[in-house]
A and B are shown apart, each in its own frame.
Chain A
Amino acid sequence: GAGVSQSPSNKVTEKGKDVELRCDPISGHTALYWYRQSLGQGLEFLIYFQGNSAPDKSGLPSDRFSAERTGGSVSTLTIQRTQQEDSAVYLCASSLRTGMNTEAFFGQGTRLTVV
């Protein structure tokens, strides 16, 4: 596709269940980012990948959150034992490379609701 694709677009899960969120970046983009946005709030950085490596995981809020990227392409964000405070829109972005002078392209996000 032409842009960053995220799936599912919406996910409702019960508290305590695990969820996986998927991101398909733009082909050829080596950098991939995950953010989350709670209702009415700004974007909170979670993790960044350069290729398959994650040099910056500093934004992951707890050890229930993990992410991986395979083949320098698709990334999966996993949240274990979900809590109600995990409810948010999870946004993925990709760019040609990290560092200055690059444009990041965002997906439409996955809206996660934990009930």
Chain B
Amino acid sequence: DAKTTQPNSMESNEEEPVHLPCNHSTISGTDYIHWYRQLPSQGPEYVIHGLTSNVNNRMASLAIAEDRKSSTLILHRATLRDAAVYYCILEETSGSRLTFGEGTQLTVNP
């Protein structure tokens, strides 16, 4: 399975932007980059995904490096409800699963 590397934890202040990095140097040309988050005591929740171009939705933005070996999830204005573990996942063309790593624990300070 293609591997992703994320920092174990990050902190942000409320109403400030947050940039969550992810390295995926072994990504292949057809792997999609997915981001999920898991709030305490809940199942994971889809955030965003993309292939090559940057993506925006109501929750976040996804910036993908030109060589696709890294990506950044951007929360434009963090709220206390954004405190969660954020997972960066590569969905492989040949695969049938999302392989979750350890993720980044985001703490949002009031």
Contacts and interface: CB of A to CB of B under 8 A. Distances in A.
Interface secondary structure of B, over-half rule: loop
Contact of A104 (B98, B101, B102, B103): B98
B103 A42 contact: yes
A45 B43 contact: no
B55 to A, nearest CB: 11
Contacts of A93: 43-44
Contact of B102 (A33, A42, A102, A108): A42
Given A93-B43, A106-B44, A45 B103 contact: no
Nearest to B91: A100
A76 interface: no
Nearest to B92: A100
- The size class of the interface chain A forms with chain B is 20 to 34
Contacts, number: 56
A12 interface: no
Interface of A: 4, 31, 33, 35, 42-43, 45, 48, 50, 55-56, 59, 91, 93, 98-109
Most chain A C-beta atoms within 10 Å of own C-beta, residue among B51, B96, B100? B96
Interface string B16-34: 0000000000000011100
B96 A106 contact: no
A55 B94 CA distance: 12
Contact of A103 (B31, B42, B46): B46
Interface residues of B, number: 22
B97 A56 contact: yes
A107 B45 CA distance: 9
A107 B49 contact: no
Contact of B99 (A4, A45, A101, A104): A45
A61 to B, nearest CB: 15
